[in-house]
Structure 1
Amino acid sequence: MEQQMINIYENNLYNKSDGFDQILRYLDIDLSNILKKMPLLIRKRVEEIRLRIGRPLAINYDRKDLFIKANGVLTDKVYDAYIVTEKNIRNTFQLISNYSIYAFEEEIRNGFITISGGHRIGITGKVIYRNNNIYTIKEISSLNIRISREKKGVSDKVIKYVIKKPNTIYNTLIVSPPQCGKTTLLRDLIRNLSNGIPKLDFYGLKIGVVDERTEIAGIYKGYPQNDIGLRTDVLDSCHKFDGMMLLVRSMSPNVIATDELGEEKDIIAIHKALKAGVKIISTVHGESINDLLTRPYLKQILKENIFERIILLSNRKGVGTIEDIIDGKTYKSIIKKEV
């Protein structure tokens, strides 16, 4: 019965078109017509679309940056590329904000807007301050459109190392350089732990997510655009410290998940959550354990052996390559012992 509920939930939520096609609806018509001409295989692999006034229309796919001609052909020659105009940027920004910039003021202050499908649009331009705080961004000069694509099942190889009998988990830290799949892995771990894994005799846990940058759940008008499981509650666009404390007080989570630790307040919040009996899953930018030990706050929490499992990622064999899984108390490899 529970598996039927999961199937219904996923079918209802994810009966949607490819992310690239969704994005085209939010672009200036001239840009949309150009990008429609790109080969289908490339469109399915595009990770970012970059719009910069007076500079070439560019995409990022397979970790490569390429420009686009007016006929949709890819090129590495600047003089061949379509040059993005102020009109392209203005019209795209109006479509992204649904012609109501005021409705997105808070997101604009944070430098990005999340649209239907969980896609995130980064913004640069003239920053306006009030009372020493960012008030808004005007005269938009660049847009970075990051296409959200879920990769279900990426946590299947590591889930058995995260689960702890009976029906709980190890406090887990995912360490990865930028764009190596740490948020993707975190999201899929949340989904699996929330739904439960019958073949491992693991029942679903209540997961509280602090989604500070709207990248984990991709909340849009209250609805998660990504599959985060049946038992997951999300605080969207909330600072990690505030969010962890709110979840502990109000939602009685078994696990709190969040992305990109780094500040002192993050570490304080983790200590408070642990005292309340809550388990933690999080991520952090880093190349290795030694890299983390050079940062005071992360060094502190590692030395306390709070994280019992440390998953190291890279893109050596493609995004999401699992380099190692380390025991957080002994700092010895768990998976290499099994080989």
Structure 2
Amino acid sequence: MLEPGKDLLRREILPYFAPAIKDLLLNMEEERCRQLEEIRLRCDQPLLLKAGERDFTLDRRGRLSEDIATGFRVSEEDIHRTVSSISDNSLYAFEEEIRRGFITVAGGHRVGLAGQVVLQGETVKTMKDFSSLCFRIAREVKDCALPLLPYINGSSGNTAVNTLIVSPPRCGKTTILRDLARLLANSHKPLPARNVVVVDERSELAGSYRGIPQLDVGPRTDVLDSCPKAQGMVMALRSLSPQVIITDEIGRREDVLAVQECVNAGVAVISSVHASTADELQKRPIMRELLSSRAFKLAVILSRVNGPGSIQEIVRWD
């Protein structure tokens, strides 16, 4: 498991922050650094740190507190300097990432952006005058998906079962998908290794930086970074000879058509979808259509009962 302790924080994350915020974060105790999931900067608002289910702030002496009113207030200059740092002082070079609302930095950590959105017709062209930033710290929890392998490998062990990872937000679905890619791309006797393609539309699964995965998705895994899911699945079929395609958060009609094309070609698909239960999926017309086609045979329902990634239920569709 990759735990964002102080060494990791100092090496991969703090260099991007404005000096005043960097100095405060350096004073955090090691235990809090390991629990850290998000760092949020909002203009003229307190600095917020998320660790598990709790929010903390830091006062001007770097002391942790759950009383947000006492927190260090982030200035417009703090945000401006941080944005300049994560974009290497060239917002133009990151125009595509900014248009999508985030920038992935070295180490696979993702910085969400908010500010004034600039439209071109009905399409987002870019963003400017940034008002808040959300640093999401990338975590690898290796072997967290091991309990799922007997289900996903199927009875023969030679093919993977088309599987949906069903989860509300912040329940570990991306972490589970990432580890499944790594496990399936490695050999686990008596199970064979597979060629895996990760279609990583939001650069979360592999955490790619300049096209290179920063997180371990396995030795037989190809990554299509920043690629729309439906297009990526079809591209993978045509050019990368996958046995398994893994992608995150399907839900659009074009995604459904791409999944069906993969299944008809004999390629297994493992993906996630936002929902709390399998029954909840049936209430969404597009997902109901997909499930009625029997494209997916297995659903893994996640929760946070025992922390992110808790397996609440396994559902089979025959």
- Within a 5 Å distance, the mapping from 1:1-339 to structure 2 comes to 18-19=8-9, 21-164=11-154, 165-198=156-189, 201-329=190-318
Give, in whole Å, the separation in 2 of the partners of 1:267 and 1:133: 23
Residues 209 and 232 in structure 1, CA contact (< 8 A), matched pair in contact too: yes
In 2, Cα distance between equivalents of 1:79 and 1:297: 44
CA distance in 2, matches of 1:194, 1:19: 29
Residues 9 and 33 of structure 2 are in contact (CA less than 8 Å); yes or no, is this contact kept in structure 1?
Answer: no
What's the Cα RMSD here? 1.1
Matched residues in 2 for 1:240 and 1:26: separation?
30
Question: How far, CA to CA, are the matches of 1:292 and 1:125 in structure 2?
Answer: 33
Cα distance in 1 for partners of 2:256, 2:10 equals 37
Q: CA-to-partner distance for each residue in 1:39-83, whole Å, 9 max, x for gaps?
A: 110011110000000000001001211221122212222331100
Q: In 2 relative to 1, CA 303–319 (structure 1 residues): closer, same or farther, beyond 3 Å?
A: same
Identity of aligned residues (%): 42
Instruction: Tell me the TM-score normalized by structure 2.
Output: 0.95
Residue 20 (structure 1) shift: 6.2
Could you tell me whether the CA contact under 8 Å between 1:207 and 1:233 is conserved in 2? yes
C-alpha distance in 2 between matches for 1:281 and 1:77: 42
Q: Cα distance, 1:21 vs. partner? A: 4.2
Q: Provide the C-alpha distance between the structure 1 equivalents of 2:177 and 2:268, rounded to a whole number of angstroms.
A: 14
4+ runs of 1 displaced by more than 2 Å?
Answer: 17-21, 76-79
Unaligned runs of 5+ in 1: 1-16, 330-339
The residue identity in structure 1 corresponding to 2:27 is K
Report how many aligned residue pairs link the two structures. Answer: 311
2:117 maps to a residue whose letter is V
1:178–1:93 Cα change, 3 Å: same
CA gap of 1:139–1:292, structure 2 versus 1, over 3 A, is same
Residues 192-222 of structure 1, C-alpha deviations (whole Å, 9 max, x = no match): 0011212xx1121011111000000011112
Cα separation, 2, equivalents of 1:327 and 1:218: 31
User: C-alpha displacement at 1:131, in angstroms?
Assistant: 3.3
Native 8 Å contact 1:53 1:85 kept in 2: yes
Q: Is the 8 A contact 1:178 1:285 kept in 2?
A: yes
> In 2, are the aligned partners of 1:205 and 1:254 still within 8 Å (CA)?
yes
Aligned AA for 1:27?
F
Following superposition, the deviation at residue 276 of structure 1 comes to: 1.4
8 Å contact from structure 2 (residues 39, 136) kept in 1: yes
d(CA) in 1 for partners of 2:66 and 2:8?
Answer: 26
Equivalent position SS for 1:89: helix
Return the offset for 1:162. Answer: 0.7
The 8 Å contact of residues 256 and 290 in structure 2, kept in 1 or not, is answered as yes
Q: Using the alignment, how far apart are the partners of 1:38 and 1:72 within structure 2?
A: 7
Indicate the SS of the match to 1:209. Answer: strand
- For residue 195 of structure 1, give the secondary structure of its aligned residue in structure 2: coil
The SS at the match of 2:185 is helix
